[in-house]
Chain A
Amino acid sequence: GAGVSQSPSNKVTEKGKDVELRCDPISGHTALYWYRQSLGQGLEFLIYFQGNSAPDKSGLPSDRFSAERTGGSVSTLTIQRTQQEDSAVYLCASRRGGGATDTQYFGPGTRLTVL
């Protein structure tokens, strides 16, 4: 079946511009996560959506970052007034339910480069 998809695969932007990154989770998955991986680092948690519950935004690095999940499916991560330190690979993952042992499945990521 279809996996997690993300678009665009690559995004180059100028410092100060806003960007939107899209994630299409696996159909029927109720949980959705955003992570980012900076060069030489592990994956850093950003935000987590579970069903209709309020999202866990505890990983967002600043108020320039926000995310929405419409209709419990597609999610958009928005970065306003991008900075060079925002350059990273942004990864989305989805999970079938809230069970602790449910596996997270990752999309291919969006590589963001801020010039």
Chain B
Amino acid sequence: DQQVKQNSPSLSVQEGRISILNCDYTNSMFDYFLWYKKYPAEGPTFLISISSIKDKNEDGRFTVFLNKSAKHLSLHIVPSQPGDSAVYFCATHSGNTPLVFGKGTRLSVIA
């Protein structure tokens, strides 16, 4: 029973366009949300996070949106670059509990 769902296993986007990665969660107790990026043969790298008290957090080309009522968050990358091609994991937790991860979305940015 998945608590965190990334329903799109893959996404292809043209370079320079916007990439939108989506994530849904089931537990309303989750209060901190993160996106990790993973290249092959490397561990996940922290990208951006958002607390449940906010609905948007922006860091350069990356913006995370949180819709608590819908239990949905999304990661926007604009403009997308070929170096953004990786697997993106959505993760969440509450308090000090371990992270719960989605299965990931493989983003391919085509030049």
A18 at the interface (CB under 8 A from B): no
The answer to whether B46 touches A103 (Cβ under 8 A) is yes
With both chains docked as a complex, state the minimum distance between the C-beta of B88 and any C-beta of chain A, in angstroms.
11
- Chain A hits for B6, CB < 8 A: 42
- Chain A hits for B46, CB < 8 A: 103-105
Q: Mark A26-45, 1 if CB is under 8 A from B, else 0.
A: 00000101010000111111
The answer to whether B96 touches A100 (Cβ under 8 A) is yes
- Chain A hits for B44, CB < 8 A: 43, 91, 106
Of residues 72 through 115 on chain A, the ones whose CB sits less than 8 Å from some CB of chain B are 91, 93, 98, 100-101, 103-109
| Interface size range of chain B in the complex | 20 to 34
B34 at the interface (CB under 8 A from A): yes
Task: Report the separation of the CA atoms of residues A98 and B49 in the bound assembly, to the nearest whole angstrom.
Answer: 17
- Chain A hits for B93, CB < 8 A: 100
Q: A42-B89, A42-B102, A45-B98 are in contact. Are A91 and B43 (CB under 8 A)?
A: yes
The answer to whether B45 touches A43 (Cβ under 8 A) is no
The answer to whether B98 touches A48 (Cβ under 8 A) is yes
Task: Report the separation of the CA atoms of residues A31 and B95 in the bound assembly, to the nearest whole angstrom.
Answer: 13
With both chains docked as a complex, state the minimum distance between the C-beta of B94 and any C-beta of chain A, in angstroms.
8
The answer to whether B49 touches A101 (Cβ under 8 A) is yes
A14 at the interface (CB under 8 A from B): no
B101 at the interface (CB under 8 A from A): yes
The answer to whether A106 touches B45 (Cβ under 8 A) is yes
Of residues 29 through 55 on chain B, the ones whose CB sits less than 8 Å from some CB of chain A are 31-32, 34, 36, 41-46, 49, 51
Given contacts A33-B99, A42-B104, A100-B96, 13 further A-B contacts (CB under 8 A): A4-B43, A33-B98, A35-B98, A42-B4, A45-B98, A59-B98, A91-B43, A98-B96, A100-B93, A101-B32, A103-B49, A105-B46, A107-B43
